[in-house]
Structure 1
C-alpha cells in the first residue's frame, strides 16, 4: 500500500504563493533541491490540481533544461518517470506523458489507488491537498518553510481541517529553509 504525501514550499506565514500567484521566493538552492529530489525519488504517482500540474509540466522535457546543473536534470527525470493524475474540469487533455485527467476528486478512488500502489504517492497543489486532508487520505506532510513573510496569498494548509501530527524529522538548510516532516496521526 502506498503512502500519500503532501509536499509544499511555504512562507513562514504559511502561504504557497503570494496574492499575485507568485512563488519565486521558494526557489531552492542546490542543497534544498537535492534533498527534495531524494524525498520524491520513491514516488510512483503524483496527484495534481490543474494549476499545480500546469506549473510542474515544464519538468516533462528534460532536454529543455540544457545547461542546468545535474540536480535539476535529476528532478526532471524523476518527475517525468512518475504517473500523474490531474483533477480538472477544464483541461481538454494531458500535455505530458504518463498523465490522465480526472474531472473531479473522488476520495474513494484515491483510497483504492493508494491501496493498490506498490509505491508512494504525492498530492500537489494546496487546494487538492486540502481536499485529501479533509477526506483523511494524507499520511505524511513535508513542509519546506522559506524564511520570508509574504502577508497573504494561497494558504498551504486548509482552514477547515483539524488533525494531529507526529514530527518525524526536521532539517535546517544553509539558506534558512527549514524542512518539517510529519506523520498524520
Structure 2
C-alpha cells in the first residue's frame, strides 16, 4: 500500500504562495534542493493539480539544458521528468513528461492509487492536497519553513472541520536557516 506524503516550502507564517499567488521567496538553496531531489527520487507517483503542473512543466522539462543551472537543479529536472505524475484537470487536453491526465475525484483516485502503489506517493500543491488532508489520507506532512513572512496567501493546511493531531518525527535546520519539520498524523 502506498504512503501519501504532502510537503512544500512554506513561509514562516504558513503560506505556500503569497497573496498574489507567487513564490519567488521559496527558492531553495542547494542543500534544501538536494533534500527535495532525494524525495523525488524515492517517489513512486506524484499527484498534481493543473496550476502547479503547468508551472512545473513550463520550466523543468528543459531546465537541465540551461548553461548556468546548478548541478543539483539539473538533477531535479531529470528526476522530475522521469517521475510518474497524475495530473488532475477538467480543462487540460493532454499532459507530457511521464504524466497521465485524471478527471476523477481526487479523494477517490488517491484511495485507489494508495491501494495499488508500492512506495511513496506525493501530493504537490496546497489546493489539491486540501481534500486529501480533510479526508485523512495524508500519511506524512513535510514543511520546509523559509525565513520570510509573506502576510497572506494560500496556507499549507486548509480549513479543517476537526483537528489533525501530529507527531514530530524529524526536524532539521539547514545552513540557510530554513527548517525541515516532518510530521505524521496520530489518532
Question: How far apart, in 1, do the equivalents of 2:105 and 2:14 lie?
Answer: 24
Q: Provide the residue aligned with 1:33 in structure 2.
A: 33
Counting only pairs closer than 5 Å after superposition, residues 6-155 of structure 1 correspond to structure 2 as 6-57=6-57, 58-94=59-95, 96-155=96-155
**Range with greater deviation from structure 2 (150-159 or 58-67):** 58-67
TM-score by structure 2 length? Answer: 0.92
Deviations 1:87-131 (A, max 9, x none): 11111211x222111124342321121121122110011011111
Question: Residues 34 and 63 from structure 1, CA distance in 2 versus in 1: closer, same or farther, beyond 3 angstroms?
Answer: closer
Query: Are 1:182 and 2:183 matched, yes or no?
Result: yes
Misfit runs of 4+, over 6 Å: none
C-alpha RMSD over aligned residues: 1.4
Match of 2:74, SS? Answer: helix
Residues in 1 aligned to 2:82 and 2:52: alpha-carbon distance in whole angstroms: 17
Q: Distance in 2 between matches of 1:41 and 1:135?
A: 27
SS in 2 for 1:133: helix
Q: When the two structures are aligned, how many residues end up with a matched partner? A: 184
Gaps of 5+ in 1: none
Comparing 160-169 with 27-36, greater Cα deviation is found at 160-169
Once residues 70 and 132 of structure 1 are traced to their aligned partners in structure 2, the CA distance between those partners, rounded to angstroms, is 34
> 3-state SS of the aligned residue for 2:177?
coil
